[in-house]
Amino acid sequence: METAKKTFKDYPDLHYRQFDFQNASSFSEAFDQIDILFLLRPPNISDIEKVFRPLLKSAKQSGINKVVFLSVQGAEKSKVIPHNKIERLIQEFQFNSIFVRPSYFMQNLTSTLLPELINKRSITLPSGSVKFNWIDVKNISEATANLILRFDNYRDQSYEVTGKENKNFGEVARIFSSVLGEKIRFFSINPISFYFRKRREGVQNAFAMVITILHFLPRLQAEPKISDNYQKLTGKVPTTLQEFIEREKDKLSQPDKM
């Protein structure tokens, strides 16, 4: 909680509650007198029944009837991914809900994929030449804030939030190379090799499975659709990959700080 208070020190009117996804005893106090729940799935949590069923049950018992869930684009089509299971749980508990379904996060480049980018100047994934739609998390948060503030106008609907570019990782590597002024390479490997590579790197089994599926499954699907929901909700144009990489290039160009 102290970390959160330091992070949001410029917002003195905020109130804080202790909450732990994996500690059900923290739920009821955290949910007390709350009327709307913004829900997301931490990457390390894959057991949806164990964690999210008691969480949603507690929310319902606490009088919460509105849920805004940060899902993923295409969640409604794939029962393999955990977001699909959470969406169905929310519906099972009969919450009034909004499902926000964003496309592929640009911030994966500055988090999950960052160590290899910094240390090897490369990106290795099982994604082949398939195109992903890219969205800045800042854009997602802006759109979601509008949905929360005007919940009753959008309730019981889902909204895909996408950027305006579909690009594969080879194209992304070329943008990196242009912005950073040095060669960034992309290597595509088969999903089994990728999974075991992640395990050797110390990635936990559940998360290794999630990132393997995340980057391989799109090869079996149609190219992502581009929506204009972000523009409709905010009146603004989404961030481009070029703009994002320019903005974040200091994180990507200083290996001595890793």
Residues 83 and 108 in one domain: no
Give the CA count within 13 Å in the CB-facing half-sphere of 31: 25
Tracing tokens 């606490």 back to the chain, one arrives at: 62
Residues 10 and 89 in one domain: yes
Residue-level pLDDT at 252: 80
Q: Is residue 159 part of a domain?
A: no
Residues 240 and 119 in one domain: yes
Residues 89 and 217 in one domain: no
Residue-level pLDDT at 255: 54
* Cα separation, 230 vs 233, whole angstroms: 5
Residues 54 and 126 in one domain: no
- What is the pTM for the complete model shown? 0.89
Residues 83 and 114 in one domain: no
Structural domains in the chain (count):
2
End-to-end CA distance of the chain: 26
Residues 98 and 108 in one domain: no
Q: Is residue 53 part of a domain?
A: yes
* Cα separation, 235 vs 254, whole angstroms: 35
Residues 69 and 130 in one domain: no
Locate 236 and state its tokens.
Answer: 């603004």
Name the maximum alpha-carbon separation found in the chain.
Answer: 56
- Name which of 76, 249, 56 is nearest 159 in CA terms: 76
Residues 88 and 35 in one domain: yes
Query: CATH number, domain at 49?
Result: 3.40.50.720
Locate 219 and state its tokens.
Answer: 């090869």
* Cα separation, 191 vs 216, whole angstroms: 7
Helices (H) and strands (E) in the chain, counts: 12, 9
* Cα separation, 230 vs 103, whole angstroms: 12
Q: Is residue 111 part of a domain?
A: yes
Residue-level pLDDT at 80: 76
- What backbone phi and psi angles, to 5 degrees, belong to 102? -80, 160
Query: Tens digit of pLDDT for each residue in 155-177?
Result: 999 999 999 999 999 999 999 99
Residues 125 and 190 in one domain: yes
- Look up the domain containing 124 and give its range: 104-134+164-224+235-258
Q: Is residue 147 part of a domain?
A: no
Residue-level pLDDT at 257: 45
Residue-level pLDDT at 258: 42
Tracing tokens 């099972």 back to the chain, one arrives at: 92
Query: CATH number, domain at 179?
Result: 3.90.25.10
Tracing tokens 């802006």 back to the chain, one arrives at: 142
Residues 129 and 215 in one domain: yes
Residues 116 and 201 in one domain: yes
β partners of residue 187: 124
pLDDT along the chain (258 residues), means of 10: 88 92 94 96 88 97 98 87 94 98 97 94 97 98 97 97 98 96 96 96 89 91 94 97 96 60
